Amino acid sequence: MTRRILLLSVSAGAGHVRAADALDATVAALAARGGKVEARHLDVMDFVPSSFRRIYADFYLGLITRYPRLWGMLYRITDDARPDAVVQRMRRTIERLNTRRLRSAIAEFAPDAIVCTHFLPAEMLARQIRKGRVTAPVYLQVTDFDLHRMWLVPGMSGYFAASPEIAYRMHAVGLPRERVHTTGIPVMPAFAEPHERAALARDFGMDPLRPAYLVMGGGAGVGALDELADNLLSAGGDFQLVVLAGRNEDMLARLRKLAAGKHAGRLFPQGYTRHVERLMACCDLAITKPGGLTTSECLAMGLPMIVNAPIPGQEERNADYLLEQGAAWKAIDGVALAWRIHALRNDPAQLAAMATRARAIGRPHAARDVIDIVLAQLGHR
């Protein structure tokens, strides 16, 4: 009998979707090897009214972009709020009333198990579980190195923690110990595969023998990507810089102009890619915002980081975890970033130690471990 696993994410930030994509790809790989399992990935935001999407996802993205300090304050307030507080009950009621189409889609797929990579669908399903309307086991995957109160959804068959500390915090707040699993945050299977640096570097036109640093986003504090690249490369030093511009075509054009001119042979701009692991394999260090998924991908590759411009709340706590574990340094602005790159370039032993720590806490097989646990528990039902 083929087991059906439904994956529910929310496109309020890319991390929740990418975690579900990783689980989906893992199931697909298992099925390709003859496993009797299939998955379907649904984004909850595709099943809600546009008004709810604007409030829930678009408002969140606008808030963290324009008013990050306000978001940080809301993050702390909601983390301190009791689950039975009036505002919390109102929030759950509004969410429930706006997800009726999703409930129909779930019923149509008739899953044997459900894995949520965001607390919204988990909260909605918790009520259905209590009323006996959902009998399939429901699991919740935390996608940051932090445990906000909203992730504490009762009635789940299992909880997947990003780190041993998060698992401990889950135990401390009363989640059943036997239901908490320390798996890490799911990343795509490609991050667990071996990569040959020299061949990949040559494919990108890079020198495999020269140090290379990967910039994965500017953000507040370090300036525009083209200015950042120009400043870092103009400061001197024998290194290469790979800069991801994503879908920002204007920025990509400006970076390519620099790469064709004053920084020829040292600057390698890249647009949107689904194979960032290949670029990571060519580099010695990543410069990135500390999102849960991005940092988990770096850790899976054993790639040390300089983190910058964390969003107050979850990203600040992600940064704290990485710094405590010795896998990253933090730069508060462009000047600090330039100094840290210079310092690490002149101290290869320190950079190597950071890479060792990143590899030690990385969990490249997190997605596989999650699916294995779900299937094992289905086999015992």
Amino acid at site 172? A
Give the DSSP per-residue string, 12-24. Answer: SSSHHHHHHHHHH
pTM for the predicted model, two decimal places: 0.90
Residue positions counted in the chain? 381
**Terminal C-alpha separation, the chain:** 14
Structure confidence at residue 379 (pLDDT): 87
Cβ atoms of 231 and 334 closer than 8 Å = yes
Residue 311 confidence (pLDDT):
80
d(Cα 321, Cα 165) in Å, to the nearest integer?
Answer: 10
What distance in Å separates the CA atoms of residue 76 and residue 119, rounded to the nearest whole number? 17
Q: For position 91, what pLDDT does the model report?
A: 47
* Structural tokens at position 203: 């494919």
Q: What is the pLDDT of residue 242?
A: 96
Give strand pairing partners of 306: 287, 329
- In the prediction, which pLDDT does 293 show? 95
Spell out the per-residue pLDDT of the chain, length 381, in tens: 899 999 999 987 788 999 999 999 999 999 999 989 999 999 998 887 777 777 666 666 666 667 667 766 776 777 666 655 544 454 455 455 556 788 889 989 999 999 999 988 998 888 888 888 889 999 999 999 999 888 899 999 999 999 999 999 999 999 999 999 999 999 999 999 999 999 999 999 999 999 999 998 644 334 588 998 999 999 878 899 999 988 888 889 999 999 999 999 999 999 888 899 999 999 999 999 999 999 999 999 999 999 988 888 889 999 999 999 999 999 998 889 999 999 999 999 999 999 999 999 999 999 999 999 999 999 855
Burial 246-279 (b: 16+ CB within 10 A, else e): eebeebbebbbebbeeebeebbbbbeeeeebbbb
d(CA 377, CA 157): 9
The C-alpha atoms of residue 296 and residue 145 are separated, in whole angstroms, by 9
Measured in whole angstroms, how far is the alpha carbon of residue 16 from the centre of its chain? 7
- Catalogue the E-assigned strands of 222-304: 240-246, 267-271, 285-288
Phi, psi (degrees; rounded to nearest 5) at 129: -65, -45
Look at residue 25 in the predicted model and tell me its pLDDT.
97
